[in-house]
């Protein structure tokens, strides 16, 4: 009887020890894999310069319908503009600033999707989205530049 009691107690201690090891491993793994909060490393000025460069790339490609890599240039420029605008949403706590950056990101992604269609891309749709991008930039700059 005493022997059974000792074996049962040993078994319970062993189970408890295993449980503690698994719990520690899970919490260590979740802590190690948690990404730090996103923080832009570029200044707002640098991001704006980059956004300007990609906007220019898009504008030049739209102005040259016969260009060989036109769709790719519009697609890549719009995708990069979207990413820079996405980063820019983290550069201010002001809600309207974030809204401007989010609108620029979303419109750029629409333009990238349209350009990805290549030959089937809607010329009028791309020009309209380009104008929307320009209007968003101007509206933001009227407040923050």
95 and 75 together in one domain: yes
Instruction: Tell me: do 27 and 79 sit in the same domain.
Output: no
Strands in 35-126 per DSSP E: none
For helices 95-116 and 70-88, angle between their N-to-C axes, nearest 10 degrees: 160
Q: Is the pLDDT of residue 6 over 50?
A: no
Q: Does residue 39 lie in a domain region? A: no
**Which range has the worst mean pLDDT, 66-75, 80-89, 93-102, 111-120?**
111-120
Tell me how far CA of residue 14 lies from CA of 3, 8, 47, 91, 95, in angstroms.
16, 10, 57, 52, 55
Distance (Å, whole) CA 6 – CA 46: 70
Can you give the pLDDT at residue 122? 83
Residues spanned by the domain of 92:
44-144
pLDDT at 1: 57
Query: pLDDT band at residue 12, thresholds of 50, 70 and 90?
Result: very low
Could you tell me the two tokens for 143?
Answer: 């407040």
Task: Report the distance separating Cα 14 and Cα 19, nearest Å.
Answer: 9
**Is the same domain home to 63 and 119?**
yes
Whether 5 is covered by a domain: the verdict is yes
Half-sphere exposure of 22 (CA within 13 A, CB side): 6
Taking residues 13-38, report their average pLDDT.
Answer: 59
Is residue 60 located within the same domain as residue 113?
Answer: yes
CATH number at residue 110: 1.20.120.10
Long-range contacts, 115-119 (Cβ 8 Å, 24+): 115/71, 115/72, 115/74, 115/75, 115/78, 116/71, 116/75, 117/71, 118/71, 119/71
| DSSP label at residue 65 | T
């Amino acid at each position: 009887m005493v022997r059974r009691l000792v074996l049962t107690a040993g078994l319970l201690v062993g189970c408890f020890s295993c449980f503690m090891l698994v719990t520690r491993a899970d919490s260590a793994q979740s802590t190690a894999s948690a990404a730090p909060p996103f923080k832009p490393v570029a200044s707002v000025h640098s991001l704006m310069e980059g956004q300007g460069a990609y906007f220019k790339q898009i504008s030049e490609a739209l102005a040259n319908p016969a260009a060989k890599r036109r769709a790719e240039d519009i697609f890549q420029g719009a995708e990069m503009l979207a990413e820079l605008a996405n980063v820019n949403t983290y550069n201010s706590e002001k809600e309207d600033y974030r809204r401007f950056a989010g609108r620029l990101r979303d419109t750029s992604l629409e333009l990238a999707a349209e350009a990805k269609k290549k030959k089937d891309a809607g010329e009028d749709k791309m020009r309209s989205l380009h104008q929307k991008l320009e209007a968003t930039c101007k509206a933001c700059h009227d407040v923050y530049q």
